[in-house]
Amino acid sequence: MKKTALLTGVAIATILAACSPKTAEVEASKTVVREVEMTEAAKAAKKAIAGKPMLAEWSGPYDGVPPWGDVDVSTFEADLTTGLDMAQAEYDAIANNPAPATFDNTMLAMERAGEPLSRASRIFGVHGSNLANDEIRGIQSRMSPKYSAFSDGITQNEKLFARIKSVYENMDKDGLNPIQQRLVTDSYRSFVRQGANLNEADKARLTDVNSRLSTLTTSFGQNVQKDEEKYTTVITDKKDLAGLPDWLIASMADQGADGEWVVTNTRSSMDPFLTYSANRKLREEVWNKYYNRGDNGDANDNNKIISEILTLRQERAKLLGYESHAHWALETRMAKNPQNAIDLMEAVWPAAVARANEEIADMQKVANGEGAKFEIKPWDYRYYAEKVRKDKYDLDFNLVKPYMQMEKLREGMFYAAGRLYGFEFEQVSDVPVYHEDVRVWKVMKDGDLQGLWYFDPYARKGKRSGAWMNALRTQHRMDGKDVKVIVTNNSNFVKGADGEPTLISWDDANTMFHEFGHALHGLNSNVTYPSQSGTAVARDYVEFPSQLNEHWLTTPEVLNTYAVHYKTGEPIPQDLLDKMDNAATFNQGFSTVEYLASALVDMKLHMTKGEIDPDKFERETLESLGMPSAIVMRHRTPHFGHIFAGGYSAGYYSYLWSDTLTADSAEAFEEAGSFYDEAVAKSLYENIMSVGDTVDPADGFRAFRGRDVSIAPLMRKRGFPVTKDME
């Protein structure tokens, strides 16, 4: 049951973490365009949501918008519970329908079910990730087992599964088109993978396992967020600011009281401090606080939680007939099985480690030349890497920062999206927002509304760290109405001082374009059924459009117009651009190794057979891989929210898998002579960006590129050797 899995997956994830259509599809959609009869159940549902903004259909402009101004935190728990009860009643009605099962009365009915719950969950999810406090966290903890029980109750409903199975077995006879057949097949397979074929005792145990897992993953994410708030570094002596650029000092001052400079315990704060601080002792302190999140032996320690999560995931996999959680998770992804993912990672790993060791040797020479009496440690890596960058490439990224105005780069994102997809963006003020920092743009194409884009860029207390995209409403035209997209991009930039622009790092600029790529994937969606819309694709495919979108940041059209100095308005000088281009593959050893270490540990964790000591497992696995001692995993196990509080368990490899597709696709534009080539952009839209999950992703990529993916472009992109067998 793909929609149920998607709905509850999105809801739980947010609660825990806080193409032109084919002709056949168009013709088939005409047969389902009709007014939905107002049944007694529908009337009852309408009555149940009256006066409840969390559950009610969204009103206002742009086909309705989230009613942030009417949201009452005190009603969240009751409204979510009501939404669960309403959704349960809808699914029960489908299951108990006495008429023979058909695509319309079963699959389409399921696609429509649970809308009030979906609306409420998405609103609450924003509060969990962007506006969290103790009250919200308490609701998260109490509601997550209820969501789990709801999901299990649907996938284990024998009558409902029997109807889906009947539609599945009669697809050809009933004349369903390929897109409808894909929807049915995915739903049938999802039910089986969630335990529909288990006996009653095993179903009961599976429900217990899922309920406990929902509680544990909620606690994991909350513990990390608490450590981010608890373990900040406060500096009170100006001499401890040695080496830090003015922009960083100013942003640190904004985080503290008078006479204080604060390094918050987030990557966007930690990373620049470790890059520029001349105080090695403070670098070590900041590094330890960041990389020991969830691993401090206190009430927020995640090690026991991790061990139990892994044990329960393995038990669940065995119940469902799989060798491990990793085998279960990868069955529906492009990789198909863990070994294929491991093979890709291990093909890249040796070259990445070799390059990283060269980088470390270069840094050690610099440190030794300064009279250092120590070996490069992880808290030294960024600091000395920056020195090597200046020495080898005469490139100081402090000189790039003044050109990285967040607002101008946002305009650059809009420009590129306009050139590629025909989008036009206009800021609007006639919709409510959930925080004063949030702004909204309407997105138009050929004079028609495509959707809304919400932008929440700044860090604040209660907002989880990192950057992400949320889909508040997905595109579809299931019942003859073209439902418009509402997406959000969220970041944690430090707001510029009064009257000053917000300046971000080069890496942050890449991240902006990356997350906007997810938004564009949603905004470009052109499908009939909600379950197949936008980013509802395989986990190891979903990062492909977003990673590809990073490439437009470096196009001359964007850099020369939007990467302009915040004082002079002049673009980045050509000699600085040349230096950046020459250093494009600098530090790829470090970035690839820290990422791959996390991805390999993730995969191996989810192939374990019993309880483990997470710290010991991490240490021994990295030793067996030959991990350089000067580098750590990008996400250490105790705070690895992607896999223990999000949707990437046994799936962090997806970024490399997607980047293999990305690098190959980027070369398609390069071969055409421009990243704005109209023919290539049109093919990208038709075969990748608009089709959602209506086609197999391998087929979509093959249609775009004209062949299967090659690893050679990925290796070239990272500056690694390319062997003949890679071409």
Q: Using alpha carbons only, how large is the chain's radius of gyration in Å?
A: 25
Helix (H, G, I), strand (E, B) or coil at 503: strand
Q: Are 374 and 367 in contact (CB under 8 A)?
A: yes
Query: Can you read off the two tokens belonging to residue 218?
Result: 């909620």
Q: Distance between CA 542 and CA 521 in Å, rounded?
A: 9
What tokens does 619 get?
Answer: 């240490």
Residues near 394 by beta carbon (within 8 Å), at least 6 away in sequence: 579
Nearest CA to 132 out of 494, 490, 457, 461 is that of: 461
The CA-atom distances, in angstroms, between 689 and each of 4, 522, 526, 545, 671 are 24, 8, 9, 7, 20
- Single-letter code of the amino acid located at 638: P
Q: What is the DSSP letter of 175?
A: T
Asked if 19 and 690 count as a contact pair (C-beta separation under 8 A), the reply is: yes
Q: How far is CA 469 from CA 10, 60, 66, 129, in A?
A: 12, 23, 16, 11
Amino acid at 312: L
Catalytic-residue membership of 323: no
In angstroms, rounded to a whole number, what is the distance separating the alpha carbons of residues 580 and 559? 12
Phi, psi (degrees; rounded to nearest 5) at 553: -60, -40
Report the distance separating Cα 281 and Cα 374, nearest Å: 13
Handedness of CA 96, 101, 104, 107 (dihedral sign): positive
- Give dist(CA 181, CA 171) in Å, integer: 6
Q: Which of 515, 543, 550, 618 is catalytic?
A: 515
Cβ burial of 240 (10 Å; 0-12, 13-18, 19+) is middle
Query: Rounded to 5, what percent of the chain is helix, strand, coil?
Result: 60, 5, 35
3-state helix/strand/coil string of 395-440:
CCHHHCHHHCEHHHHHHHHHHHHHHHHCEEEEEECCCCCCCCCCEE
Q: Are 727 and 715 in contact (CB under 8 A)?
A: no
CA distance 325 to 320: 10
For strand 448-458 and strand 485-493, is the pairing parallel, antiparallel, or unpaired? parallel
Can you give the length of the chain in residues? 727
First and final CA of the chain: distance in angstroms? 39
Closest CA to 463 of 173, 609, 266: 266
What are the two backbone dihedrals, phi and then psi, of residue 294, each rounded to the nearest 5 degrees?
Answer: 75, 10
Buried b (16+ CB within 10 A) or exposed e, 197-228: bbeeeebebbbebbbebbbbbbbbbbbbbbbb
> Which residues, in sequence order, are bridge partners of residue 571?
564
Distance CA 489, CA 503 (A): 18
Residues with catalytic roles = 515
